[in-house]
Homo-oligomer: A and B are copies of this chain.
Amino acid sequence: MALIVKKFGGSSVATPEKIFHIVDRVLKHKKKDDQIVIVVSAMGDTTDDLVALAKKVTSHPYGREMDRLLSTGEQVSIALMAMAFTEKGHPAVSMTGPQAGVESSDAFGKGRILDVKPERIFKALEEGNIVIVAGFQGITDTGDVTTLGRGGSDTTAVALAGAMKADVCEIFTDVDGVYSTDPRVTDRAQKLKEITYGEMLEMARLGAGVMQPRAVEMGSRYGVPIHVRSTFTENPGTIIREDYTMESNQHTITGVADDTNVAKVALVGVENKPGVAHTIFQALADATVDVDMIVQSIRTTDDERTDIVFTISRDDVVLAKETLDKLRQTVDMECVVINEDMAKVSIVGAGMLGQPGVAAQMFGILSEEGINLEIISTSEISISCLIAENRVKDAVKAIHDKLCLDGRN
């Protein structure tokens, strides 16, 4: 007997036929006493369609009402999937995020899961049901639905698996595992058999679309093994776990990630006095704008003024603009320039620790390609560079093929 949480994304449930495909597959592999919880996203392009609809009505497509609107997509897919299981003869019940006990913060549009109380799920499982849970949503302490932001359904699945002490959380996706880089960029990309939470977290944070960082972090915190695998084939995918098993080779560099959902914000000629940076980034944090890379440069010719450059998600550009406009009433700056044609390319690998030459190698490769670096940032197991978006594929291919394949082929 195993307790398994399975998550299917929007493209896997886009049509009734695809829903039945999943139902058949789940029933085929389910052992008699297995307990199965399935987390699903909204069907196909539903979420995008709802966003487009909202934009016809409001110039502020976020907040409480937006979350109410978006959360309907998953309610449709869980109801249909529960009906499909019942139609195939297996009892099933659907639960919204709130019904599944997913409690979230009230940061609408990017709620964070604060707690999961899965009692109702356990009860339904004990009654013999397969339980279908709406991903991407939780309930605040005032009873409102919040959506959990990008990749929220992955986070829901891993959080449930953690709270329920599931044996494994399977993330079904349209790729068949985690690759050393995007296989569409270079045909030399390799599927990884295993990857650590830490490495996956960096890969995800830096743009590898296959898993969201928050979900990986949640898996790490609760020690839930995550199996990233294909909806369309039955091949094993990539296991994300705490440590490599002995048989797995660890490489210096696990993979190359890129992220084009990046906007560069330059605050030019900001008054240079103590506390200014704190004021600016606190205001952005209060507006729930996530800031990524930050550079502050002191002008050599004018030490009264400084330039502050940082990156944010393109989704947050409107919010950031509004926040900065308000801020300019109290903080003096010459101008704000927002640039949406940037991208970030990163290398990740726990094996980079203690190998100081890797950063230099990466910069050298980019230089050979004639690619300019705007910002560089590093963590213990990653190095990221902000470059022009139109060069990102060249950058990924060059770095991957020259660095990642060391000692593998």
A residues in contact (CB < 8 Å) with B? 16, 19-20, 50, 53-54, 56-61, 64-66, 68-69, 71-72, 75-76, 78-80, 82-84, 86-87, 93-94, 96, 99, 143-144
Contacts and interface: CB of A to CB of B under 8 A. Distances in A.
A69 B75 contact: yes
Nearest to A92: B65
A66 B75 CA distance: 11
Contacts of A68: 75, 78-79, 94, 96
Nearest to A56: B16
Given A57-B80, A65-B86, A75-B75, 13 more contacts: A53-B76, A54-B80, A58-B86, A60-B83, A60-B86, A60-B87, A61-B83, A65-B93, A65-B94, A66-B83, A68-B78, A69-B79, A71-B75
Most buried by B among A64, A68, A144: A68
A253 to B, nearest CB: 45
27 contacts: A16-B53, A16-B56, A16-B57, A20-B57, A50-B76, A53-B80, A57-B80, A57-B83, A57-B87, A58-B83, A59-B87, A60-B87, A64-B93, A65-B79, A65-B82, A65-B93, A66-B79, A66-B83, A68-B78, A68-B79, A69-B75, A69-B79, A69-B80, A69-B83, A72-B72, A72-B76, A99-B144
A230 to B, nearest CB: 23
A307 to B, nearest CB: 36
A223 B231 CA distance: 57
A68 B40 CA distance: 15
A114 to B, nearest CB: 19
Contacts of A54: 79-80, 83
A289 to B, nearest CB: 21
A145 to B, nearest CB: 9
A76 to B, nearest CB: 6
Contacts of A72: 72, 75-76
Contacts of A82: 65
Closest 10 CB pairs of A and B: A69-B79, A58-B83, A72-B72, A16-B56, A68-B79, A65-B79, A65-B82, A57-B83, A72-B75, A58-B87
A239 to B, nearest CB: 33
B65 A83 contact: yes
Nearest to A17: B56
Nearest to A80: B57
Nearest to A75: B72
A59 B59 CA distance: 42
Contacts of A56: 16
Contacts of A69: 75-76, 79-80, 83
Contacts of A60: 83, 86-87
A66 B72 CA distance: 14
Nearest to A59: B87
Most buried by B among A50, A58, A78, A79: A79
Most buried by B among A78, A82, A99: A82
A106 to B, nearest CB: 14
Nearest to A19: B57
Contacts of A75: 68-69, 71-72, 75
A10 B323 CA distance: 37
Contacts of A96: 68
Contacts of A84: 57-58
A146 to B, nearest CB: 13
A60 B86 CA distance: 9
Nearest to A77: B69
A190 to B, nearest CB: 39
A61 B61 CA distance: 33
